[in-house]
């Protein structure tokens, strides 16, 4: 049963229990709704960037499995304060990490996100880990800002 700890590492369980940046960013200028219809993972990602293109604030809301929630939480911590170009690069590196073997030097830059390396052994869970990152990618491309729900619409509790 060693496989269990490959995927459910301490840091992942911690972020699942206490997700960081779990909030609506009221004045967000980037937004995307990410859904995984197969398992029902469902997240809203809000990003506020400065005129210079730096991620000033980021938040997420929604419900899903531990992998998807921890991944979303750690993503927000990772990209906050980064220029959009660096965040986009981080997205690529993360997707690479969970889908194939990547170079050692890239791994070093990943920091605590390395906890998701084990997800590769669970192909059906790759989508869970990737969900928020794919949503951020879309949000940064500004594809769906018009769909951003009002704060009231997001007051739904799924507990």
Partner 1 sequence: MAMAVSDKKNEKKVKEDFPLLWRQMNGQPLVYLDNAATTQKPLSVINRITEFYKNEYATVHRGVYALSQDSTIECELVRDKCRGFLNASMKEEIVFVRGATEAINLVVSTYGEEHVGAGDEVIITTIEHHANLVPWQQLCERKKAILQVVPVNDRGELDMTAYEKLLSNKTKIVAVGHVSNALGTINPVEEITQLAHTVGAKVLIDGAQAVPHLSVDVQKINCDFYVFSSHKVYGPTGIGVLFGKKAILEKMKPYQYGGDMIESVRFEKTTFAQVPQKFEAGTPAIAEIVGLGAAITYLELLGYEWIQRHEGDLLAYGTQQLQKVKDLRIIGTAKNKASVISFVLGHIHAHDIGSILDQCGIAIRAGHHCAQPTMKRFGVPATVRASFAVYNTHEDIDKLIQGLKRVQEVFA
Q: Is 22 one of the binding residues for partner 1 (CB under 8 A)?
A: no
Minimal distance, residue 159 CB to partner 1, in Å: 8
Q: Judged by CB under 8 A, which of 11, 54, 66, 154 binds partner 1?
A: 66
Q: Helices 126-140 and 84-99, interaxial angle, to 10°?
A: 160
Structure tokens at 10: 């301490």
Q: Is 105 one of the binding residues for partner 1 (CB under 8 A)?
A: no
Question: For residues 14 and 103, what is the distance between their CA atoms, to the nearest angstrom?
Answer: 27
Q: Is 63 one of the binding residues for partner 1 (CB under 8 A)?
A: yes
Q: Is 157 one of the binding residues for partner 1 (CB under 8 A)?
A: no
DSSP 8-state secondary structure symbol assigned to residue 54: B
Question: For residues 12 and 39, what is the distance between their CA atoms, to the nearest angstrom?
Answer: 19
Q: What are the two backbone dihedrals, phi and then psi, of residue 36, each rounded to the nearest 5 degrees?
A: -110, 95
Q: Is 65 one of the binding residues for partner 1 (CB under 8 A)?
A: yes
Name the pairing type of β-strands 30-36 and 55-63: unpaired
Question: For residues 29 and 57, what is the distance between their CA atoms, to the nearest angstrom?
Answer: 10
Within positions 37 to 56, which residues make up the interface with partner 1, using CB under 8 A? 38-40, 42
Q: Is 7 one of the binding residues for partner 1 (CB under 8 A)?
A: yes
Q: Tokens 């500004």 identify what position? A: 142
Q: Is 15 one of the binding residues for partner 1 (CB under 8 A)?
A: no
Total residues at interface with partner 1 (CB under 8 A)? 21
Minimal distance, residue 145 CB to partner 1, in Å: 26
Residues in contact with partner 1 by the rule CB under 8 A: 1, 3-4, 7-8, 13, 38-40, 42, 63-67, 122, 124-125, 128, 158-159
């Amino acid at each position: 049963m060693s496989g269990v700890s490959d995927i459910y590492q301490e840091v992942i369980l911690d972020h699942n229990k206490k997700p960081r940046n779990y909030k609506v960013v009221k004045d967000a200028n980037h937004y995307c709704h990410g859904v995984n219809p197969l398992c029902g993972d469902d997240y809203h990602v809000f990003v506020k960037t400065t005129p210079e293109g730096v991620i000033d604030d980021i938040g997420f809301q929604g419900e899903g499995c531990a992998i998807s929630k921890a991944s979303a939480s750690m993503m927000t911590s990772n990209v906050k304060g980064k220029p959009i170009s660096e965040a986009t690069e981080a997205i690529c590196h993360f997707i690479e990490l969970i889908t194939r073997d990547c170079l050692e030097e890239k791994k070093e830059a990943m920091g605590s996100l390395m906890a998701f390396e084990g997800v590769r052994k669970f192909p059906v869970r790759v989508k869970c880990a990737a969900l928020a990152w794919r949503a951020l990618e879309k949000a940064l491309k500004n594809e769906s800002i018009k769909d951003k729900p009002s704060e009231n619409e997001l007051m739904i509790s799924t507990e």
